[in-house]
Amino acid sequence: MLRNNLDRCIKYVLFACLLAFSTAGCTSTPPPAKNVEQQPKATASLTPKTGGTITIGYQAEPDTLDPQKTTMSAGNFVGGLLGGALMVLDPYTFELKPHLAESYTVSEDGKTLTFKLRQGVKFHDGTPLTASVFKQSIERAIDPKTASPVAGQDLAAIESVGAPDDNTLVLQLKEPSASILSAYGGYQQPISMEVLKKYGSDFGRNPVGVGPWKFESWKTGESITLIPNDDYKWSAPFLENQGPVRPDKLIIKFIKDSQTLMAALDSGTIDIAGVSAKDVKKYKDDKEFTVLEGMQPVESFIGMNLENEILRDINVRKAINLAINKEALIIADLQGEGVPVYGPIPPTMFGYDKAVEEYGYKYDKEEAIRLLEESGWKLGGQGIREKDGKVLGLTMIIEDSKPGDQLVQSMLKEIGIDLKIQSYEMATAHAQAVKGEFDLMATSHGDIDPNILGLLLHSNQIGGLNFFRVNNKELDALLEKGSITTDSQERQKIYAAIQKLVVEEAYWIPLYSAKTFQVINNRIQGVKPNPLAILTIQDMWVNE
C-alpha cells in the first residue's frame, strides 16, 4: 500500500492544487455553491462561440505527462484534460458516475467489479478504446516494474483484470475496496500500449489520450499548449457541452510566484488562476472578473508524536486542543476565508459527521489549565509549567511559515507550554516525521475518500504516513472495516465512530479547511459555480 510513502504523502498535501483545476470533486455535506462575483447579466444571453484561446496560470510544471509515472498534481491536471477515467465525480450532486464506462456492477462479495465500456471512444490517433486496451493499461499501472507512484497505489487492490469482450472490463480485487471506484482523473486515464511502444521513454512528453484536448507542444519552464479533439463526444454526464471543446487552444502557463501570477491575471496575459484568500478581495470587487468560491476536502491540522513522553498523557493532548482558538487562526492565516474543523475528516469529505461540531474541542483556556494542573504540571519560572524537574516544552515542525504558527505558540504559552517552531522544506519535514523526530507537526491532508485515514492513523503505517505513532487496536479495526465496506450508509456510521474515537483520544489538533478561489477574466464565458470551485473547462468559451 505504501510503495512510495513520500510521493503518496505529497499527493495529499498538494491535493488542493489537484482539485482546483480538475473537472470533478467529491463531498458529503458540502457548503452551498457560490459565485461571488457573477458574470455581468449582459452576457447571460450570449450564444457560445467557437475559437479563441484560454490561458490558465498554474504554479507548478508537470514532471511528466505519463499518467502512470507522474507524482505531481500538475501532471494529473493536464492529464485529466488529455484523458478520462472509468468513473467521474459530479461536482454538483457529489455522485460517482460512469464516464468511460456506461455502467458497472459489483458482486455480492464486493471483490468483482464489471464495467460496460462506452462505445465509440477513440484515442487521439484514432485507435479505439477497448476493454483489452484498458486491461493492458491497468496491468502496466499495477506492475511493480512500472513503479507507478500514484496510479499503481490507487489500484493496488486489483488482483487481476479481465476483458471477455471489447466492451466488458472485469476487475478482480484482492479484497473488497470501498475506495477503488474513486480512483479517477488524470492519473487513471487509459493509455495505448501501441502508442507507448512508438514513443518509448519519450511518451511522457508526447501523450496521446482519449480526452477533449490533444497535446500540441511543451515549452519546458514556460507552458504546455493543447488543441481540441474534434472527434470528442463523450463528456462527463454533468457537463452541458457533450461535443468538442469550443476554444481553438488551451495554454497552461507556468508561473510559480503568486504575485507574478496575479500581475499576469491583471494584465490579461492569462485568463484564469487560483488566488489565495488574502489576495482575492480585489477581484471580488472588480467587475472584469468572476470569482468562484468553494471548499475542498482538505484539512489543516497539528499532529502529535505519541512516542513523546509528555504527549502520552491524554490530559496534555486535550489541553493543547482546548488552548487553540481556531477562529483566530482562520483570521490570521486565511483572512477569515475558511471554516473550523473539529475532527480528522473535513466537512466536504465523504463520511463527515456533523455531530463532531458539538463534541469536538472548543477554545477553553481555563479547562486546558485545569487538565494540566490535574496531571501535575505546575507553573514555574517565566510562566512555563514544570513537573518532576522537567519543563513543559515542545517543538513543532512546519512545512511553510504562516502567521498562525506564532499564534499557536502564544496560545500554548498562555496555558504554560513553551513551544519552539522549526521550519523545514516539505521533503525534509516528511523525512523528520517518518523517523519520529518531532513533537508536533503542522501539516494538512486531503483526498476524495476518508480511506486516507488508514494511511495516517493505522498502526501498520507506523514508519510510513502514520507519523504520529497512533497505535489503537479499536481504531485499527474500524479503519479496516471502513476500507472494505461498500454500503455507503454503513460506511458513514463507521467513519462517524472513527471521528468520535480520534477526538476522544485527542490524537491531533484539527484546525480548519480553507476556502479556495478561482479568478476568471469575464472574456471567458460558460463559467459554472459549484461547491468546490472546480473549473468545468469543457463548458467554457471565449467572448472576444
Q: In this structure, is residue 287 part of a structural domain?
A: no
| pLDDT tens for each residue of 34-76 | 443 444 433 445 899 999 999 999 999 999 999 999 988 899 9
Percentage with pLDDT > 90 across the chain = 75
From residue 493, alpha-carbon distances to 162, 348, 418, 462, 508 in Å are: 34, 16, 39, 26, 21
Q: In this structure, is residue 192 part of a structural domain?
A: no
Q: In this structure, is residue 439 part of a structural domain?
A: yes
Q: In this structure, is residue 274 part of a structural domain?
A: no
Task: Please determine, for residue 523, whether its predicted confidence score (pLDDT) is greater than 80.
Answer: yes
> What is the per-residue pLDDT for 334?
92
* Count of beta carbons in the 10 Å neighbourhood of residue 48: 14
Long-range contacts (CB closer than 8 Å, 24 or more residues apart) made by 136-145: 136/193, 137/68, 137/190, 137/191, 137/192, 137/193, 138/171, 138/190, 140/68, 140/191, 140/193, 140/196, 141/68, 141/188, 144/3
From residue 112, alpha-carbon distances to 84, 106, 165, 175, 463 in Å are: 22, 6, 16, 9, 32
> What is the per-residue pLDDT for 45?
52
Q: Which residue has the higher pLDDT, 178 or 367?
A: 367
CA–CA gap between residue 191 and residue 215 (Å, rounded): 14
By 3-state DSSP, what share of the chain in percent is helix, strand and coil, each rounded to 5? Answer: 35, 25, 45
- The H-or-E segment that residue 281 falls in is helix 281-284
Q: In this structure, is residue 200 part of a structural domain?
A: no
CA–CA gap between residue 411 and residue 324 (Å, rounded): 6
DSSP string for 79-140: HHHH---SEEE-TTT--EEESSEEEEEE-TTS-EEEEEEPTT-B-TTS-B--HHHHHHHHHH
Q: In this structure, is residue 313 part of a structural domain?
A: yes
Contact 513, 298 (CB under 8 A): yes
Question: Which residue, 337, 205, 254, is CA-closest to 61?
Answer: 254
- The H-or-E segment that residue 228 falls in is strand 223-228
Number of structural domains in the chain: 1
- The H-or-E segment that residue 330 falls in is helix 326-334
Q: Write down the pTM of the prediction.
A: 0.79
> What is the per-residue pLDDT for 499?
98
> What is the per-residue pLDDT for 340?
97
Task: Please determine, for residue 13, whether its predicted confidence score (pLDDT) is greater than 80.
Answer: no
Q: In this structure, is residue 505 part of a structural domain?
A: yes
Mean pLDDT of all residues in 262-270: 97
Question: Which residue, 519, 528, 530, 537, is CA-closest to 262?
Answer: 519
CA 441 to chain CA centroid, Å, is 19
392: containing domain: 298-513
Q: In this structure, is residue 89 part of a structural domain?
A: no
Angle between helices 5-13 and 426-434 (to 10 degrees): 130
Task: Please determine, for residue 411, whether its predicted confidence score (pLDDT) is greater than 60.
Answer: yes
Specify burial of residue 296 (Cβ count, 10 A radius: 0-12, 13-18, 19+): buried
CA–CA gap between residue 471 and residue 448 (Å, rounded): 25
CA–CA gap between residue 261 and residue 365 (Å, rounded): 41
CA–CA gap between residue 501 and residue 505 (Å, rounded): 6
Q: Cell numbers 486489483 label which residue?
A: 158
| pLDDT tens for each residue of 424-447 | 887 788 888 888 899 999 999 988
From residue 169, alpha-carbon distances to 78, 114, 195, 469 in Å are: 26, 6, 21, 40
CA-atom Rg of the chain in angstroms: 24
Identity of the amino acid at 55: T
- Characterize the bridge pairing of strands 249-254 and 53-58: parallel
Query: CATH code at 395?
Result: 3.10.105.10
Identity of the amino acid at 15: F
